[in-house]
Structure 1
């Protein structure tokens, strides 16, 4: 007779995500997750080979949550597509601080960075660059430049919100983004 498990894989991932939200990814261990589940760590390893696999599942779930933020902002119709992506990123950082830190503020300097990771990053940016090309009537090169220069501000605001260095309202953030976007657009359009 097959063994029945007390928890499903989805319940374990949900508990791991909640633990990450509460204490950060570094607090997720077999012991702490078992405690969160009110059980030993045995059920965890019925579904996962290692805690690294659990953390990969947490990252996948966090990415789905983040993508939900993007979808919500775009569907709201309050902003242009690009600005909706920016505001979603910032709102995710503000409301899901630990998940944001795990996805976007992890030190990767000791990781083996291959050409594939650079290619993946470019693939992730392509849709935003295409939006900017259409929205601003920019060449691909100018849209990439606009993205690079504006994203520094977007990421900076998000990182400072996630680490409690800022406590700006959405309207103030929007004013800052409008000023930065206008200035960068003007600079690109008027380069000699």
Structure 2
């Protein structure tokens, strides 16, 4: 009788489902195997270890994110569109966002590394960041990353709310200010119910 062969893609699909349901807290070979109804052996035939599976899964998620979320034009300025897509991805898929970027066992450093590479490629298409050194770019990217993730935290917590148009305007201003070396000034309103309790 022929033994059933489990493909790398099938294992990645099951691993993705585990992360969607429980984050990386329960990202174990046993839980991925349980999701597929198999032993852990096929996982270790396809991947060196769980870190290899995790990194491969993060790479696949990042590629899918760029294809599904990041590639659609919004303003026509890719440097503005990418952070808007990223924020809207976090709002549409908060559980996955937290697993990828917030969970200490998640993919934070790896996803940040992917973001730097991705944004560096985009910046080649922008007059704003043309010809700047890698060191300067990395500092500007970190500044934008901190502000954008702060915005996501406030939006997910319900502290502020922004329409799609307000979000675009805010990101546009953020990118302009950062590229010109200005201090970014927030112009968003805190939910009145929250400010009443402060």
Q: What's the TM-score, normalizing by structure 1?
A: 0.66
SS at match of 1:175: helix
Unaligned runs of 5+ in 2: 183-198
Q: 2:98 aligns with which of 97, 101, 105?
A: 101
Residues 84/28 of structure 1: CA separation in 2 closer, same or farther (3 Å cut): same
Residues 128/152 of structure 1: CA separation in 2 closer, same or farther (3 Å cut): farther
Give the Å deviation of 1:46.
2.9
SS at match of 1:26: coil
Structure with the larger helix share: 1
Structure 1 counterpart of 2:84: 87
SS at match of 1:17: helix
- Worse overlay, 86-95 or 174-183: 174-183
Equivalent residues of 1:15, 1:37 under 8 A apart: yes
Measure the CA separation in 1 of the matches of 2:114 and 2:57.
Answer: 20
1:153 is aligned to 2:173: no
Residues 82/165 of structure 1: CA separation in 2 closer, same or farther (3 Å cut): same
Q: 1:177 aligns with which of 164, 171, 182?
A: 171
1:63 is aligned to 2:62: yes
Structure 2 counterpart of 1:130: 124
Q: 1:140 aligns with which of 101, 120, 132?
A: 132
Structure 1 counterpart of 2:195: none
Measure the CA separation in 1 of the matches of 2:47 and 2:130.
Answer: 47
Structure 1 counterpart of 2:188: none
SS at match of 2:25: helix
Equivalent residues of 1:21, 1:97 under 8 A apart: no
Unaligned runs of 5+ in 1: none
SS at match of 1:25: coil
SS at match of 1:11: helix
Structure 2 counterpart of 1:23: 22
Equivalent residues of 1:70, 1:89 under 8 A apart: yes
Measure the CA separation in 2 of the matches of 1:5 and 1:159.
Answer: 45
